[in-house]
Chain A
């Protein structure tokens, strides 16, 4: 049993990035930094997804001269996480864009980017 596989390195890095991102999102006071922290979280998540598709010694799932057209399931890495990660990235872009826009407008209303200044509704 080998632990230092490429996949595990990818997974652990991804997990670490996720935790770092979450830590940032929960402790930073500046809204822009919070957004950046969330993108780090997203990046970690995406890395985990991609890492899962990896199988040692296999190639990207694209048919060309080197792969031939037979026995492809023994030559390719898993295509599904790769498709999922694409979706995940696009969603991340959308959410980040929206969050940034919110930040922009929040700054306009209060001239501050401190998350503690936006507690108008509570209790």
Chain B
């Protein structure tokens, strides 16, 4: 086996020999460099493979043939093998990527690149402190050389700032090394683990450690690094982020044994502060390279934390660090490289990626991987890290991580959304040479492969996790097929999945109910997709991801599966929403709120084991001190998804701006995930208290206010989809209220209403989609009189709103009847009245919906409008049939639902006597009600028909127009500003407090971020001072003001 030292000798010989090359041979020299980096890769790669398969043993290379500490030794174990392979592979790809630059640049740059790689290799491998210093210096100078590939004034001054900073850092490092030597009498890291124990030795450790921490670019002493990221060639930024930073962090890892145990948390916390703040500042960046720079720094901070706490993390350490390291390696490098391909720091210019589906896909993969969403390694690493921190009660740490993560998501998805919607007509077809695309694709493959191993390592359930993931992956692969084929395939896949999953869950009614909602909902909402032509690229993978994400929620096998499903569903639906034409901002809001909710849940999952062990559906009933906090975190997380008032502002935009036929899926089906979660916590936690308050009482109020607020907001909407969307807010308020009653009847109502809302809301949205599909508008005042041209859609809407309004004889009435009973039993009269009142409010907007769209005058431009396509109507009528069945035989649904509710829940259940439902307050027979209503209706109808047999049919224009010609005809439409009177009277209730609050938060954070980042003055001297200041503060933190 080739000794690892020959990585260095190969590199150096190449570097030196390149000097002999002539100008005319430049291209050949580039190939020589390529071969050399390939050879270096092969040496380290062969060690990696050898060590992995066990055919090689970890070795120490003794230079000069003397054992340490007498001579310098290099070490090659698994760690070093991984890192050197990363460095060398990266070097090889960089040479390829920079092929065009290198061809013109002259031989010196080639030498600098190879020396840079050598430097990093030795920094990783060496066990000698002074040798480490020497090779760090080599790396620094080489870095300075690489920064100035583009020799513009920006990069030159950034390079100088870097040199200044690096001089200060190396000064601190060297003085530390010298002190260390003078205390322990040698320079080998393995022989100075007792350094901090020697009197005064702690100062040496402090200096060395500080220098390395500064070198790892921690906030806020990292202005020099950011400027470098911003001005250097993207390929170099990529190198700094993907290989330099990990090498430095590995040095921290090597040095950790010297560092006293009580310093570990301090260093760890510094890393987290970097993570949170850098991501925070990145949200304010418009310049892509600088933003990526902030992001790189942030990732470095997170990894520093993990490394500093390696002792604490114990067994999980490798899992966590590899998750972060590899994701950062592949994804960050990929993003920088893409930046080089796009060749612009302007987000809007990135639209050219849209013309290259593969590159755009990889861009998405990198962004999602960086954001820590499943199925990528960071997701698992973050989960594990938080679970571990929670075990040690590291709540402050968790808050920092989650804050940083949410900022990270904010800027990453802002970027992604912008690119997604960037104008597609960029000047000319982009010409992207193969050598620029190749490395990106390779790293894309790398991150996917890594994810595969991470998922495999987790040993997930086959049926609930692996098969869904495989199906999603399959849809990514077949995305080039025509839409209708994919539609058929996805429906088939879902049906088949239902077939194989049914035997698994048929014993558990709860799983069965939710699974049916998600599966049936998924299938039915896909059917209208047959009307779309073309390939509909990028829709099906994410539709599949959303539906299968929901499916994962149903299996409570373990917390991770649930959380993974949750995140997957959020990601999938985000893309579905983003696909809408004007959906950039709403989708961004949706993502932020989703992520916020998810992180609250993540924190709650961290706390959960303190109360319930590892089980998901643990029985936590009874007042457990502190469990209230967990409950509240979960409840907030789920209520974000169900859009409780105050947390709802993302909903109208997201639902209405999504593609019309995707809306039923992301609203009607998906919102039930929140209900599932709420139901789960309500049943498993039972009544809990927070600071002495009864949480259920609080939730009841939230539910009531949400119900009324959502409905109030709906009545003023002119936009058909927004109206229905707001009505969802109201309906969810109703469900939250019902759940918080925590009685048998209350929970039953919640479940029943969940199913019912799923049915009518999906139906209404589909019907709306059909109408919009034909009329090409969402404004209701531009419609009218569509009853004749779209009678079937009218019937669906009619049935839908009768159900929604809870009027007999349809199924909604059952809910209302039970609701009266439950409220009276519980005694929540005030809140109950509010909810009833919200029902009345609902009539207003329902009337508006049906009257202004289907009744009244037909518009001229809608004269030729046809009925909605059959594929739209088919699922709607399946739902109509379901409603009819439920209306006549509600017990079909209610009886099984009642069995889900655990016995612990207090209160009276419904007694069934055939078709008769009874409580202590009364009884109700759906069948009888239906019969009565039909008879009444039929009688009146016949009577009317008889009476109006002589009536004359009037055509639309069979009346004389007044001589008036309105300036804006649409303002004369009945639904234009329809409830203006109510708005005048109750408008003050509608003050968008929630919107103001969230806007305030956003403005406030913008202002803070701008204040904080003005710290980076751009002056190299100030940056150098920051370094010293950082060291000073670190000293105070570590020593507590005493002499070490």
Contacts and interface: CB of A to CB of B under 8 A. Distances in A.
13 contacts: A18-B171, A22-B171, A26-B1028, A38-B167, A42-B171, A88-B174, A95-B141, A99-B167, A102-B144, A105-B151, A121-B227, A121-B231, A122-B227
B349 to A, nearest CB: 19
Contact of B1016 (A26, A81, A116, A122): A122
Chain B, interface SS category: helix
A38 to B, nearest CB: 5
A122 B290 CA distance: 9
Interface string A43-61: 0010011001000000000
B160 A106 contact: yes
Contacts of A41: 167, 171
Contacts of A95: 137, 141, 163, 166-167
A121 B1021 contact: no
Interface string B157-175: 1111101101110110011
Nearest to B166: A95
Contacts of B178: 48-49, 52, 81, 84
Contacts of A49: 174, 178
Contacts of A62: none
A120 interface: yes
Contacts of B208: none
Contacts of B1024: 25-26
A123 B1016 contact: yes
Question: Which residue among A22, A31, A81, A102 has the maximum number of chain B CB atoms within 10 Å of its CB?
Answer: A102
Contacts of A87: 130, 134
B1025 A26 contact: yes
B1028 A115 contact: no
B156 interface: yes
A47 to B, nearest CB: 11
B174 A115 contact: no
Contacts of A120: 153-154, 157, 231, 1018
Contact of B1021 (A99, A105, A115): A115
Contact of A119 (B130, B167, B1018): B1018
B1043 to A, nearest CB: 16
B1014 interface: yes
B194 interface: no
Contact of B1018 (A34, A81, A102, A122): A122
A20 interface: no
B158 A31 contact: no
B286 to A, nearest CB: 11
A26 B137 CA distance: 21
A82 to B, nearest CB: 12
Nearest to A48: B178
Nearest to A87: B134
Nearest to A120: B154
Interface in B113-150: 130, 134, 137, 141, 144-145
B65 to A, nearest CB: 18
B336 to A, nearest CB: 16
Given A48-B175, A87-B134, A121-B158, A22 B1018 contact: no
Contacts of B171: 18, 22, 41-42, 45
A36 interface: no
A119 B1019 contact: yes
Nearest to B1009: A123
A9 interface: no
A119 B231 CA distance: 12
B1017 A81 contact: no
B1019 A115 contact: yes
Contacts of A6: none
Contacts of A115: 1019-1021
A99 B163 contact: yes
Contacts of A102: 144, 156, 159-160, 163
B181 interface: yes
Contacts of A98: 141, 144-145, 163
Interface in A4-35: 18, 22, 25-27, 31, 34
Interface residues of B, number: 46
A35 to B, nearest CB: 9
A115 B1022 CA distance: 10
A80 interface: yes
Contacts of B1013: 123
A94 to B, nearest CB: 6
The 5 closest A-B pairs by CB, nearest first: A122-B1018, A119-B1018, A118-B157, A109-B153, A121-B227
B1016 A34 contact: no
B247 to A, nearest CB: 19
B230 interface: yes
A111 B230 CA distance: 23
B227 A106 contact: no
Given A18-B175, A95-B163, 11 more contacts: A22-B1028, A25-B1021, A25-B1024, A26-B1028, A87-B130, A106-B160, A118-B157, A119-B157, A119-B1019, A121-B231, A123-B1014
Contacts of B945: none
Nearest to B167: A38
Nearest to A99: B163
A91 B144 CA distance: 14
Contact of A110 (B153, B159, B166): B153
Contacts of B152: 109
A103 B160 contact: yes
B130 A31 contact: no
Nearest to B281: A123
Nearest to B1010: A123
Contacts of B137: 91, 94-95
Contacts of A84: 130, 178, 181
A89 B66 CA distance: 26
B1021 A34 contact: yes
B953 to A, nearest CB: 72
Contacts of A121: 154, 157-158, 226-227, 230-231, 290, 1018
Contacts of B932: none
Given A41-B171, A110-B153, A34 B1019 contact: no
Given A18-B171, A103-B160, A121-B231, A81 B181 contact: yes
A119 B181 contact: no
A52 B185 CA distance: 11
A102 B157 CA distance: 8
B188 to A, nearest CB: 12
A109 B156 contact: yes
Interface string B994-1035: 000000000000000000011011111100110010000000
Contacts of A80: 181, 187
B182 interface: yes
Interface in B898-939: none
Question: Which residue among B161, B164, B167, B174 has the maximum number of chain A CB atoms within 10 Å of its CB?
Answer: B167
A18 B1028 CA distance: 13
A43 B50 CA distance: 46
Interface string B217-232: 0000001001100110
A118 B1020 contact: yes
A110 B157 CA distance: 10
B1017 A119 contact: yes
A118 B137 CA distance: 24
Nearest to A88: B174
Contacts of A116: 1019
Contacts of A22: 168, 171, 1028
A30 to B, nearest CB: 11
A98 B148 CA distance: 12
Contact of B182 (A31, A52, A110, A118): A52
A40 B152 CA distance: 30
Contacts of B227: 121-122
B658 to A, nearest CB: 35
A56 B1017 CA distance: 49
Nearest to B231: A121
A87 B132 CA distance: 12
A41 to B, nearest CB: 6
Nearest to B289: A121
